[in-house]
Chains A and B, each alone.
Chain A
């Protein structure tokens, strides 16, 4: 980039301190994650005694066997996959056409519609009236309560709108009109195929939000059978309900016997379940990082 004429001593000190700072930031963020990965495959005695501090000790995969044999976690997983899939499809169906329409300068009244959306970013009915509306719609204890109240986000509509208006040339729309193409065919046949990056960004933003959400399930679902993964995790990690049912210890008798105490099983399950539940998101993230980052940047252009 900038040609280095000569590095003064001051500059070298500055660079050294800068690298030091960035390295410390890297370690502070990475260490807890590495610790959890190692703890999930180490003997719980080694972990609780502090002998395991970076790499795994007394390798064991019992934690994962307990997680995989746990029907409750599997059910939560299946529910979450369903909610995430249907919810994200709904998000895209609501967000993309609206964002495209709002990106068209020749749409009369687009400022009014945009204003109507923007108001909701800064002022909303709040928890209770929203809850009562969901209740009035008879959505309590259904999947609808988890996906309909979050069917779109203003921020994501703005990001998608900015993408459409900055990448789709106006001449393209004109040319399509000349050929007698209507807006439906224009959108489905020309615009969407040109917009794969933004579709990926939107699917990921929305998908991760569904995958990680617990609060709507907490207030809208009564049936434990319908609980998403995060609610099961809440029982295991936060409420620490280490009953035989949540840890699955009752089922796998031999592992339970091998463990000295319930607390050891509990801690082993905790680390393993953190990995199992976070893995899908963390695994796809580095490959899609470019898109995620693009999304944030597009949003920042005109937020």
Chain B
């Protein structure tokens, strides 16, 4: 007790490092499960990346497999599918970004102008909900709605007097189907973060603007939008840092031999060559190429954002 009160008489943070570590030894135990988890499932695989420069032999493990240098990278860069994969990955990414990034911002600004509480709550509840639909169910819905014989969306297009395309099998339509279903599922949820930023806008700004004769649109444009610009920049940086990160989870479910030429991206290629064809080293090299570009983009975009707008991740 004497010891405890003596320590407590000094404010936290002023004590020597060693003393603080000693007093809080239990807190380090609190960190043990998490540290162990990240070491085993993140840092150990990072150590395993070395097999990208080796020929992985399962019996010899990460360390014992023989080195081959940049052989796998050269094979990938010179293969005939390299440019197709890169193009598909980049075009899906930018397509999704161009359509999917502004919509949550617009939706949040629109929600913010709705004054009827019950209506606002209903719309929010409904538009957030698709976020909780699983990828498998989502893709099942896409396939059911776009089914050429009886799909709901196909029938609406027919009703409008247009000729429905073979959305699921025509390679030209794959990216649109992917991006628009993504928009349907995630726009509402994506608006939450902007609504949070909008709730911090000082009402006095609006009052002053009203006195100055600014209409609703002007106030949205000159007060609300600038208030969420820092959030927009941060999310844009994060998105750009994931520009080659088009996930396999959804594409794998929507992919079929007929749309393959526009649906095959780097991540699905990695999945296939590793877990279907067993080329561990080669697909690790492809995956490493992917993560290095992503990390590089993140750093570059963050730097640009820092120079131009003073908003950055670090």
Give the B-binding residues of A (Cβ under 8 A): 1-3, 5, 8, 10-11, 14-15, 18-19, 21-22, 25-26, 28-30, 32-33, 35-36, 47-50, 93-95, 97-98, 100-102, 104-109, 113, 116-117, 120, 122-133, 136-137, 148-149, 151-152, 157, 170, 173-174, 177-178, 180, 182-184, 187, 208, 211-215, 219, 230, 233-234, 236-238, 240, 267, 270-271, 274, 277-278, 281-282, 285-286, 289, 292-293, 296-297, 300, 303
Residues of the A chain whose Cβ atoms lie less than 8 Å from the Cβ of B189: 296
Interface string of B81-116 (1 = CB under 8 A from A): 000000000000000000000000001001101110
Q: Are A125 and B215 in contact (CB under 8 A)?
A: no
Residues of the B chain whose Cβ atoms lie less than 8 Å from the Cβ of A267: 144, 150
Q: Are A106 and B152 in contact (CB under 8 A)?
A: no
- CB within 8 A of B291: which of A100, A123, A149, A240? A123
Interface SS of chain A: helix
A-B contact pairs, 21 of them (CB 8 A): A2-B206, A10-B216, A15-B113, A21-B110, A25-B127, A32-B141, A33-B129, A48-B150, A100-B27, A107-B24, A125-B42, A125-B47, A127-B283, A128-B270, A129-B284, A177-B7, A187-B30, A230-B134, A234-B253, A237-B140, A297-B192
The docked-state distance in angstroms from the alpha carbon of A15 to that of B26 is: 57
Residues of the A chain whose Cβ atoms lie less than 8 Å from the Cβ of B76: none
B75 lies within 8 A of chain A by Cβ:
no
Interface SS of chain B: helix
The docked-state distance in angstroms from the alpha carbon of A21 to that of B187 is: 14
The docked-state distance in angstroms from the alpha carbon of A120 to that of B43 is: 8
Q: Are B203 and A1 in contact (CB under 8 A)?
A: yes
Q: Which residue of B lies closest to A280 (CB)?
A: B132
The docked-state distance in angstroms from the alpha carbon of A120 to that of B51 is: 19
Q: Are A101 and B28 in contact (CB under 8 A)?
A: yes
- Nearest-neighbour CB distance to chain B for A17, whole angstroms, equals 9
Residues of the B chain whose Cβ atoms lie less than 8 Å from the Cβ of A184: 26
Q: Are A32 and B8 in contact (CB under 8 A)?
A: no
Q: Are A22 and B111 in contact (CB under 8 A)?
A: yes
Q: Are B46 and A238 in contact (CB under 8 A)?
A: no
Interface string of B45-60 (1 = CB under 8 A from A): 1111101000010000
The docked-state distance in angstroms from the alpha carbon of A143 to that of B203 is: 52
Q: Are A129 and B49 in contact (CB under 8 A)?
A: yes
Contact of A18 with B270 at beta-carbon distance under 8 Å, contacts A214-B136, A285-B132 already known:
no
- CB within 8 A of A274: which of B13, B111, B113, B141? B141
- Nearest-neighbour CB distance to chain B for A2, whole angstroms, equals 5
The docked-state distance in angstroms from the alpha carbon of A113 to that of B35 is: 8
Interface string of B12-49 (1 = CB under 8 A from A): 11010100110110111011011101101111111111
Q: Are B5 and A178 in contact (CB under 8 A)?
A: yes
- Nearest-neighbour CB distance to chain B for A266, whole angstroms, equals 10
B298 lies within 8 A of chain A by Cβ:
yes
- Nearest-neighbour CB distance to chain A for B290, whole angstroms, equals 7
The docked-state distance in angstroms from the alpha carbon of A108 to that of B288 is: 34
Q: Are A174 and B12 in contact (CB under 8 A)?
A: yes
Q: Are B210 and A5 in contact (CB under 8 A)?
A: yes
Residues of the B chain whose Cβ atoms lie less than 8 Å from the Cβ of A174: 8, 12
Extra contacts, 12 of them, besides A128-B283, A131-B275, A233-B137 (Cβ < 8 A), are: A14-B215, A30-B126, A35-B152, A49-B150, A100-B30, A122-B295, A123-B46, A126-B270, A127-B248, A127-B271, A128-B284, A129-B44
Q: Are B231 and A300 in contact (CB under 8 A)?
A: yes
The docked-state distance in angstroms from the alpha carbon of A47 to that of B275 is: 39
B130 lies within 8 A of chain A by Cβ:
yes
The docked-state distance in angstroms from the alpha carbon of A19 to that of B37 is: 48
- CB within 8 A of B134: which of A49, A117, A148, A278? A278
- CB within 8 A of B144: which of A105, A219, A233, A270? A270
Contact of A94 with B17 at beta-carbon distance under 8 Å, contacts A125-B44, A278-B134 already known:
no
The docked-state distance in angstroms from the alpha carbon of A26 to that of B192 is: 15
Q: Are B24 and A277 in contact (CB under 8 A)?
A: no
Contact of A300 with B193 at beta-carbon distance under 8 Å, contacts A26-B127, A133-B48 already known:
yes
B196 lies within 8 A of chain A by Cβ:
yes
B162 lies within 8 A of chain A by Cβ:
no
B308 lies within 8 A of chain A by Cβ:
no
